[in-house]
Amino acid sequence: MLRAHTVEQVRAAEADLLARLPQGALMQRAAYGLAHAVLDLLGGGYGRRVLLLVGPGHNGGDALYAGVVLARRGARVEAWLLADSVHEDGLAAFRAVGGRVAPAGSAHDGFDVVIDGILGIGGRPGLRPDAVAALEAVAGVPVVAVDVPSGVDVDTGEIAGPHVVADLTVTFGTHKGCHLLDPAALACGAVDLVDIGLDLPPAPIEALQPMDVAALLPRPALDGHKYSRGVVGVRAGSAAYPGAGLLSVAGASCGLAGMVRYDGDEVVLRQVRAAHPEVVGPGRVQAWVVGSGSDDAAQPALSAALADAVPVVVDADALAFADLARGRDAVLTPHAGELARMLGAQRSVIEASPLEHARRAAQEYDAVVLLKGRRTVIAAPDGAVRVTTTGTPWLATAGAGDVLGGLIGALLASGLCPFDAASVGSWLHGAAATLAAQQGPFVAGDVAAALPALLATLTDP
């Protein structure tokens, strides 16, 4: 499990470790990890030209000590000091190995990499004008951020004003919220985690990894049958939007549940049976998927599903009536526009602070909320959060959400709790899209078609 801790948690863990280590040892661990990540990026140090953007405090000290390591490996390292007071010992060590200190924005013959040591995890969002000017002077040069890209909100992933856009972020001890949550995650580039020996408490934000998904996936019992494996029902699609019903069924028919039932428009039912002959008609189920393309039938379809007192996925048209599912075993699956309507907010505000609004919606509706996006956020009413890091830009295609809803429904029917079903389903959805993209651009049905091959890599024969 990839875990993201808060600034407060990290500082407490660092203070505990510092009390047990010789002075300066923790910074040296971070600096060596940073320097070696830069060496890997550059393919070596000899003759490379490195610029350090040095701010106040420990983050600037990490950059200076990393510059010492790089200089010893033959790099030409220059530092621009962007604060009146920087880490004194680090600066002395940097000068001692021949590091050059120059005014910010000085003329130069080009750099191979810029190390962003302007602000650390204690920095406020945004950058001062002198830092912005320094970054503009080296525009186009690859940037390695120290711990976090300077100028982003570390815990929430929000952005307010100018900030560093890194090609690589080297972080220490644990991931932070900004490494997982958009919009800041877009500014991080690749993220390299350096273990510095922190003893950390449980994290408020998690991201599933393949081993976690494999451990959570349902597997048939030796004496199992189609009913014991779970039956998922789909109430989706309409004469106006038959494709939504087909795609919801396609997601539900991934093989994780023992049976799929379709209960909806007769026109859609005929198309479903032609495409998925294993799908049967109405009957008892262990979970419902409701809303995709349901049009005017969304409210009665959701009411009927809730009357069965089984877990339900509330998607698309049914989200307008999500208050009916308040306090139930439900997964609500809005995109930013739909969540904006649910919360009475602007879409741009939702997109600027997805963590805050996913958590708020989960509390207000007393249900699991899956806020779709490049980095999908899954929030539970108790405050637990998971972020999906799988996927590809090609997944931004019509009908992909319908497939996701059906997939989550199958996981609910097979016995996963709403929080696990939503986070596992979202991870699988993104990973299947990545698999489908190996053949080029794709449509939503290709994501559903890729699920069996993906699941084969995660489950025992």
303 in a structural domain: yes
Predicted confidence at residue 224, as pLDDT, reads 87
Q: Which of 206, 236, 269 is the last residue of a domain?
A: 206
Rounded Cα distance, 314 and 326, in Å: 11
Do 294 and 199 share a structural domain?
no
| Number of domains comprising the chain | 2
Which of 107-111, 353-357, 431-435 is predicted with the least confidence, judged by mean pLDDT? 107-111
Do 181 and 232 share a structural domain?
no
Predicted confidence at residue 124, as pLDDT, reads 86
Do 165 and 30 share a structural domain?
yes
Predicted confidence at residue 290, as pLDDT, reads 98
Do 48 and 165 share a structural domain?
yes
Which of 101-110, 183-192, 333-342 is predicted with the least confidence, judged by mean pLDDT? 101-110
271, 246 in Cβ contact below 8 A? yes
Q: Which of 206, 234, 265 is the last residue of a domain?
A: 206
Mean pLDDT of 210-233: 94
Mean pLDDT of 284-302: 96
Backbone φ and ψ for 283, nearest 5 degrees, come out as: 165, -170
81 in a structural domain: yes
Q: Which of 206, 225, 250 is the last residue of a domain?
A: 206
Rg for the chain (alpha carbons), in Å?
A: 25
17 in a structural domain: yes
Do 374 and 242 share a structural domain?
yes
401 in a structural domain: yes
Mean pLDDT of 205-228: 94
78 in a structural domain: yes
Domain that holds residue 412: 210-456
CATH of the domain at 170: 3.40.50.10260
> Rounded to two decimals, what is the model's pTM?
0.95
Do 281 and 167 share a structural domain?
no
Do 296 and 186 share a structural domain?
no
- Tell whether the torsion through CA atoms of 364, 369, 371 and 372 is positive or negative: negative
Do 445 and 361 share a structural domain?
yes
- On the 0-12 / 13-18 / 19+ scale of CB atoms within 10 A, 433 is buried
Phi-psi region of 438 (alpha: psi -120 to 50; beta: other; left: phi over 0): alpha
Mean of the per-residue pLDDT values of the chain: 96
Give the pLDDT band (50/70/90) at residue 461.
Answer: low
Measured N-to-C along each axis, helices 57-72 and 25-42 cross at an angle, to the nearest 10 degrees, of 60
Predicted confidence at residue 437, as pLDDT, reads 97
461 in a structural domain: no
Mean pLDDT of 408-422: 98
Predicted confidence at residue 310, as pLDDT, reads 98
Residue 233 C-alpha from the chain's centroid: 29
Give the pLDDT band (50/70/90) at residue 123.
Answer: confident
Mean pLDDT of 62-70: 98
Do 306 and 417 share a structural domain?
yes
Do 231 and 99 share a structural domain?
no
Give the pLDDT band (50/70/90) at residue 363.
Answer: very high
Do 178 and 226 share a structural domain?
no
Do 254 and 127 share a structural domain?
no
